Every structure is written in C-alpha cells, then in structure tokens.
Amino acid sequence: MHIIQCDMRYELEHKRRTRERIVRNAARKLRAEGLSSPGIASVMKASGLTVGGFYKHFRSKDELLADAIAQAFSDSEKLYSSVQAVPREDRWKELVRLYLSSEHCDDPDTGCPVAALAPEIARAKLTVRKRVSGVIKEHRWVEFMPGASAAERERNFLIILSAMAGAVSVARILTEPADRRKVLATMRDHLLHSF
C-alpha cells in the first residue's frame, strides 16, 4: 500500500510539473509568435513532448491559451520584483522605466502579454478574454501606482498600463532602433512628469 501511494504522488507531481512546463513554453511562444502561430505541435515539441500527450494535460487549446496568458502575466510580474528595493512612493516610476526600456521592447517573448498580444486577445474566445480580464483586474501593480485612494490608484494603473502597452506596441512596429527608443523615451518622460 505504501508503494502505491508513493507512486501515485510521484505520478501526480510529475504530471503537474509537465503541465507547468507546457504552459511556460506556450506563454513564451505566444508572446513571440502571436496567438495563432504556435500550434499544439510546436508547443509540445518545445516542451520535449509529443502531440499525443496534449490532452492528458488540457481539455482544449483554449484552456492552454488562457493558462499561458495568465503565466505570461505572472512571468512579467517576476521581472519587476526588483522594485521592492525602491521606496514605495517611487515604485511606479521604476515600473514605468523598466516597462518602457529597450530591453522589454526588444524581447516580446519574455515581456508583458498586453503589449505583445492585446489585439489578438481581444479577438479570442470569451472564456480566454474573461480569464485575462480577471488577471488584469487583480494585477499587483495597482498597489504601486500613484494616487491618494484605491480608486485613484486603479484609475492611474489603467491609464499608465494602457499608455505603456501602446507605446511598446508602436515601438515594436518601427524598424529603426533610434525611432523605437524615441517612442519609448517620449512616453516614459510623459508618464513620469504627468503623475
């Protein structure tokens, strides 16, 4: 009996870790290639697995999309954990600087999913959009935003996130590095002086 319990725990843990690996790879590929580009085969191959194993972990591609986008938000939050060392009233400024950096702009596969995928997420199935909407509403960055009240911080978060994601999206369209940097710097300076 003890051996069966250990085997079951190992199998459940192995399945959980495998699912997490698939979701992490999907999150990276979606941000790099868009929602429609990486197929199940591509994601499974990047995870070191065969296509046949997909349905052992997910009911549908939409379930994977929703999980991968949520993972992408989680990944992008981890990138900004360095703001904890910054005084609380200045954390939003550091977030703006990091978000509107050339590094973030040049690496969509590891950056914010809003800047990388917003137009595509808007056309996704309702279940995917609801999941992403919930993640945005619960975004931890709200607590770092300027404002005297929770409502004001939430309003400023929506303004700042929308402006930053738009600026990064526009910068990524431009082919000249100097033009990209100009878009990012212009928005960064505007936001830092507007709040």
Q: Are 64 and 22 in contact (CB under 8 A)?
A: yes
pTM: 0.82
Q: Which two tokens stand for residue 162?
A: 């929308």
Please state, in angstroms and rounded to a whole number, the distance separating the CA atoms of residues 62 and 54: 12
Q: Can you tell me which residue has the tokens 């709200």?
A: 142
Q: Are 43 and 125 in contact (CB under 8 A)?
A: no
Please state, in angstroms and rounded to a whole number, the distance separating the CA atoms of residues 9 and 55: 20
Q: Is the dihedral of CA 53, 59, 60, 65 positive or negative?
A: negative
pLDDT above 70: percentage of residues in the chain: 93
Condensed to tens digits (0 to 9), the pLDDT of residues 55-96 reads: 889 998 889 988 998 898 888 776 677 788 899 889 999 999
Nearest partner of 114 among 164, 68, 180, 64, judged by Cα: 164
Condensed to tens digits (0 to 9), the pLDDT of residues 10-57 reads: 678 888 899 999 999 999 999 999 887 778 888 999 898 888 888 889
Q: Residue 10: its pLDDT value, please?
A: 62
Q: Read off the pLDDT band of 141 (50, 70, 90).
A: confident
Nearest partner of 136 among 66, 70, 53, 83, judged by Cα: 70
Please state, in angstroms and rounded to a whole number, the distance separating the CA atoms of residues 160 and 92: 9
Q: Residue 154: its pLDDT value, please?
A: 92
Please state, in angstroms and rounded to a whole number, the distance separating the CA atoms of residues 132 and 77: 14
Q: Are 166 and 158 in contact (CB under 8 A)?
A: no
pLDDT above 90: percentage of residues in the chain: 51
Nearest partner of 43 among 154, 11, 101, 31, judged by Cα: 31
Q: Residue 128: its pLDDT value, please?
A: 86
